[in-house]
């Protein structure tokens, strides 16, 4: 019998397979099972299109058979099968996919089967019932899957009979040097379908090929990749049972016998393809805990089923707490990605934006173009469309939670709020629009967490800006001198207590046309025109005093000036320019060179009795004035929570005042 050569490009890929480019060789089983499932889909489709008696889905099954002695593993299906020429063309050439041809040949009918197709704008996808979903699912798209079996096999035999044919043919190959196709005289199959038999390689070193003869390994692999194949995957398994022996008295230990039983290994119907109203909260939570290894239920979930330019279904969960190591570099985000119920990727990072990296779940789509053996996804535009859609779904889900179950939402925010804030900061504000409504801050007035929208709704009519104050804790922020006037005016202040907060706020800049301002900003618009005029006068009147104070403090401050917003406190320290003192504190805690410094400004309360003392000293005692300047400056630093530069002389100055 003449051996035929693989086509050149096929031979090259085959060489790669044989010398194994994959670390996880076990996927060969997924590929063979997917092919079997495709073959049954095709037969189901062809037979029903012919209008004959057709088939029921329940007529089909996939069998796995193991023969330990011969080291053989067989995957058997009763699908559409292959004729001699199909064996030749489908298995003789890599990158020629019979499935793709089938798809193209039957395009019109397949399209009609779909309820909704491409009349939707780019990333729009409409939700549909699982029942309306396209019936014909075809997994394989590009033809290299079959060859992955060479990673584990010495020889591969394919015995197949095409549907409607009387002859059975055999394809046989020992690897790269070619294959044979022959018609079998003694029919080894008495019905349509295909049997793929692998003779496994001998174990060498760390490579344990015998594991693919092991019942438990096979069960595990099927469960991992092929659990949702819609046809039963059956295998005969060995079990033991005690032998019934009526004569034995109760002291004799029972004897056991082994027997075999056919077991179905896969659960077949993916949860996400079922109708929402068939599923209970328990179903969803059980699935979450099993699949994503959490011992607590998720906080909330969303189950979707969308059709449009790209169709996809899936479930996403918001975990009830931050996953282990979540805020570390090691954490890997991602969703499981399926193509028609077959797992392609355990953690597809491209499906989740960083700001929502805490989301767990899976997506299943029949429309993905996959490259070599479904292992690495091409940067496909479909994937990007799905990702965009999921992004929006997550946001909506969170907004729903915020509106309908505030307690749960606050729990969510406690766990993952930091990620949302980083999302705003890392996008340099580009994602502000998307994320700002998810934020919660502590309101000083209401003494509870509020959203920016809620803050804005409760603003008095005369309030022009949104105010926040940054500091280590809520109680400290409450005591900031610069907060007093704003609170007394009846305005609320958002207390920002996390390092990232002010950086993120600076990126948001404004919310629904209201400027967001720090209470420390120098340009707060709080005074009436008359008040402004008065303070301008007063500042001018005491110009010399401010110059003297500035000289005393030298380059410690950029300026000393009259404050327009201190009430009961005599002084406070603030900064000019975009960097606040709080931000300086955060930055100085980071390991980096050339720490940026805020431009410090000392403000003095013109209505405080201390001010009059200073005015008097300016004329009477310049030395004392200089000492008071140091004292007030250090006091301001302490209030602000900043270290004083020379604590010893500060202490000495105070003593001097006492004696
Ligand atoms: P694909 O990605 O298309 O599944 P494969 O290399 O795995 O690529 O298979 C090549 C082609 O061989 C398939 O497209 C299909 O037409 C055919 N084929 C493979 N396995 C079977 C099977 N069990 N029954 C019928 N046809 C099969």
pLDDT tens-digit profile of 276-288? 998 999 999 989 9
Ligand 1 atom nearest to 34, measured from its CA: 4
What is the whole-number distance in angstroms between the Cα of residue 36 and the centre of ligand 1? Answer: 8
CA-CA distances (angstroms) from residue 216 to 49, 109, 200, 219?
40, 41, 17, 5
Q: Which has more pLDDT, 503 or 10? A: 503
Among the listed residues 557, 610, 572, the one whose alpha carbon sits nearest the alpha carbon of residue 480? 572
Task: Report the alpha-carbon angle 45-50-55, nearest 5.
Answer: 50
What is the whole-number distance in angstroms between the Cα of residue 592 and the centre of ligand 1? Answer: 57
The dihedral of CA 457, 460, 465, 468: what is its sign? negative
Among the listed residues 365, 350, 507, the one whose alpha carbon sits nearest the alpha carbon of residue 436? 507
Say yes or no: CB of residue 39 within 6 Å of ligand 1.
Answer: yes
Say yes or no: CB of residue 194 within 6 Å of ligand 1.
Answer: yes
Mutation probe of ligand 1 site: the residue of 146, 148, 150, 373 with most atoms within 8 A of C-beta:
146
The Cα–Cα gap between 186 and 184 comes to 6
The Cα–Cα gap between 522 and 518 comes to 9
What is the whole-number distance in angstroms between the Cα of residue 100 and the centre of ligand 1? Answer: 10
The Cα–Cα gap between 519 and 466 comes to 9
The Cα–Cα gap between 42 and 651 comes to 89
Q: What is the mean pLDDT of the chain?
A: 85
Say yes or no: CB of residue 144 within 6 Å of ligand 1.
Answer: yes
- Residue 243 CB contacts under 8 Å (≥ 6 apart), including other chains: 254, 255, 256, 257
Mutation probe of ligand 1 site: the residue of 27, 31, 35 with most atoms within 8 A of C-beta:
35
The Cα–Cα gap between 601 and 636 comes to 10
**So what's the pLDDT on residue 115?**
37
Neighbour-count burial for 380-415, b at 16+ CB within 10 Å, e otherwise: bebbebbbebbbebbbebbeebbeeeeeebbbbbeb
The Cα–Cα gap between 623 and 656 comes to 13
Q: What does residue 474 show for φ and ψ, rounded to 5 degrees? A: -60, -40
Say yes or no: CB of residue 28 within 6 Å of ligand 1.
Answer: no
Q: pTM of the full predicted structure?
A: 0.74
Mutation probe of ligand 1 site: the residue of 143, 147, 179, 197 with most atoms within 8 A of C-beta:
143
The Cα–Cα gap between 612 and 628 comes to 13
Beta carbons within 10 angstroms of residue 582's beta carbon: 25
Among the listed residues 322, 314, 321, 325, the one whose alpha carbon sits nearest the alpha carbon of residue 348? 314
Say yes or no: CB of residue 43 within 6 Å of ligand 1.
Answer: no
pLDDT interval class at 250 (50, 70, 90): confident
What is the whole-number distance in angstroms between the Cα of residue 143 and the centre of ligand 1? Answer: 7
What is the whole-number distance in angstroms between the Cα of residue 158 and the centre of ligand 1? Answer: 11
Token readout for 415 is 């766990």
The residue count for the chain: 659
**So what's the pLDDT on residue 373?**
39
Ligand 1 atom nearest to 146, measured from its CA: 7
Yes or no: say if 259 and 241 are a contact pair by the CB < 8 Å rule. Answer: yes
Chain centroid to CA 325: how far?
Answer: 14
Mutation probe of ligand 1 site: the residue of 38, 342, 373 with most atoms within 8 A of C-beta:
38
| 308-367 pLDDT tens trace | 888 999 999 999 999 888 988 889 999 999 888 877 788 889 899 999 999 999 999 987
What is the whole-number distance in angstroms between the Cα of residue 57 and the centre of ligand 1? Answer: 20
What is the whole-number distance in angstroms between the Cα of residue 208 and the centre of ligand 1? Answer: 27
Ligand 1 atom nearest to 143, measured from its CA: 8
The Cα–Cα gap between 283 and 529 comes to 65
What is the whole-number distance in angstroms between the Cα of residue 30 and the centre of ligand 1? Answer: 12
What is the whole-number distance in angstroms between the Cα of residue 349 and the centre of ligand 1? Answer: 29
| 623-658 pLDDT tens trace | 999 999 999 999 999 888 888 888 999 999 899 888
The Cα–Cα gap between 342 and 374 comes to 10
Burial of 257 (0-12, 13-18, 19+ CB in 10 A): exposed
According to DSSP H, which parts of 346-440 are helical?
Answer: 381-404, 406-426, 432-435
Burial of 528 (0-12, 13-18, 19+ CB in 10 A): exposed
What is the whole-number distance in angstroms between the Cα of residue 79 and the centre of ligand 1? Answer: 11
Token readout for 645 is 């530069």
CA-CA distances (angstroms) from residue 285 to 209, 294, 295, 305, 405?
37, 10, 10, 18, 18
What is the SS3 assignment for 634?
Answer: helix
Burial of 252 (0-12, 13-18, 19+ CB in 10 A): exposed
What is the whole-number distance in angstroms between the Cα of residue 97 and the centre of ligand 1? Answer: 7
What is the whole-number distance in angstroms between the Cα of residue 60 and the centre of ligand 1? Answer: 17
Say yes or no: CB of residue 32 within 6 Å of ligand 1.
Answer: no
Say yes or no: CB of residue 142 within 6 Å of ligand 1.
Answer: yes
Q: Which has more pLDDT, 150 or 103? A: 150
Mutation probe of ligand 1 site: the residue of 14, 90, 150 with most atoms within 8 A of C-beta:
90
pLDDT interval class at 102 (50, 70, 90): low
Beta carbons within 10 angstroms of residue 161's beta carbon: 25
- Residue 447 CB contacts under 8 Å (≥ 6 apart), including other chains: none
User: The sheet that has 510-511: what strands, in order across it?
Assistant: 448-450, 441-443, 494-496, 466-470, 514-518, 510-511
Ligand 1 atom nearest to 144, measured from its CA: 6
| 160-210 pLDDT tens trace | 999 999 999 999 999 888 899 999 987 667 889 999 999 999 998 888 999
What is the whole-number distance in angstroms between the Cα of residue 576 and the centre of ligand 1? Answer: 70
| 229-242 pLDDT tens trace | 989 999 998 888 88
Mean pLDDT on 11-30: 73
């Amino acid at each position: 019998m003449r051996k035929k050569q693989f086509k050149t490009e096929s031979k090259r890929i085959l060489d790669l397979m044989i010398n194994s480019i994959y670390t996880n060789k076990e996927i060969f089983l997924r590929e063979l099972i997917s092919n079997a499932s495709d073959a049954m889909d095709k037969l189901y489709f062809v037979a029903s299109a012919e209008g004959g008696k057709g088939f029921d889905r329940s007529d089909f099954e996939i069998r796995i058979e193991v023969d330990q002695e011969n080291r053989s593993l067989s995957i058997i299906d009763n699908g559409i099968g292959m004729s001699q020429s199909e064996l030749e063309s489908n298995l003789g050439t890599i990158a020629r996919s019979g499935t793709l041809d089938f798809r193209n040949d039957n395009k019109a009918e397949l399209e009609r089967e779909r309820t909704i197709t491409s009349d939707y704008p780019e990333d729009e996808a409409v939700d549909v019932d699982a029942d309306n979903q396209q019936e014909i699912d075809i997994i394989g798209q590009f033809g290299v899957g079959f060859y992955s079996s060479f990673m584990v096999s010495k020889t591969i035999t394919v015995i197949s009979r095409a549907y409607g044919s009387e002859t059975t043919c055999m394809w046989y190959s020992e690897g790269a040097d070619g294959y044979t196709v022959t018609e079998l005289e003694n029919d080894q199959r008495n019905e349509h379908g295909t049997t793929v038999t692998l003779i496994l390689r001998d174990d060498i070193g760390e490579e344990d090929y015998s594991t693919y003869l092991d019942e438990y390994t096979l069960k595990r692999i099927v469960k991992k990749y092929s659990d949702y194949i819609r046809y039963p995957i059956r295998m005969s398994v060995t079990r033991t049972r005690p032998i019934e022996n009526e004569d034995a008295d109760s002291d004799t230990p029972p004897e056991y016998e082994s027997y075999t039983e056919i077991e179905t290994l896969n659960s077949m119907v993916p949860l996400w393809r079922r109708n929402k109203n068939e599923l209970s909260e328990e179903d969803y939570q059980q699935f979450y805990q099993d699949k994503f290894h959490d011992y607590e239920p998720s906080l909330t979930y969303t189950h979707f089923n969308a059709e449009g330019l790209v169709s996809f279904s899936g479930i996403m969960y918001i975990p009830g707490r931050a996953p282990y190591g979540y805020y570390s570099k090691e954490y890997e985000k991602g969703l499981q990605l399926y193509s028609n119920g077959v797992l392609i990727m355990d953690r597809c990072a491209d499906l989740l934006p960083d700001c929502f990296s805490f989301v767990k779940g899976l997506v299943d789509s029949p429309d993905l173009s996959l490259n070599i053996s479904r292992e690495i996804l091409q940067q496909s535009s479909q994937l990007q469309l799905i990702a965009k859609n999921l992004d929006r779904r997550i946001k909506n889900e969170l907004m729903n939670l915020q509106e309908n179950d505030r307690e749960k939402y606050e729990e969510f925010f406690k766990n993952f709020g930091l990620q949302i804030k980083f999302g705003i900061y890392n996008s340099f504000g580009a994602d502000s629009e998307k994320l700002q409504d998810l934020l919660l801050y502590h309101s000083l007035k209401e003494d509870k967490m509020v959203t920016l929208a809620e803050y804005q709704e409760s603003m008095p009519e005369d309030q022009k800006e949104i105010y926040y104050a940054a500091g280590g804790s809520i109680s400290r922020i409450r005591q900031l001198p610069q907060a007093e006037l704003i609170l007394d005016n009846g305005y609320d202040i958002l207390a920002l207590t996390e390092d990232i907060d002010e950086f993120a706020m600076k990126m948001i800049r404004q919310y629904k046309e209201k400027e967001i301002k720090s209470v420390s900003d120098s340009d707060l618009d709080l005074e009436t025109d008359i008040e402004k005029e008065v303070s301008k006068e007063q500042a001018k009147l005491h110009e010399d005093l401010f110059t003297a104070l500035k000289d005393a403090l030298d380059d410690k401050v950029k300026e000393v000036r009259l404050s327009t917003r201190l009430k009961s406190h005599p002084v406070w320290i603030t900064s000019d320019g975009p960097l606040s003192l709080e931000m300086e504190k955060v930055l100085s805690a980071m390991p980096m060179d050339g720490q940026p410094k805020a431009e410090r400004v000392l403000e003095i309360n013109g209505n405080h009795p201390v001010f009059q003392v200073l005015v008097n000293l300016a004329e009477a005692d310049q030395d004392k004035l200089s000492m008071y300047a140091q004292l007030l400056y250090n006091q301001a630093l302490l209030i602000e929570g900043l270290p004083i530069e020379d604590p010893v002389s500060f202490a000495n100055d105070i003593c001097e005042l006492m004696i």
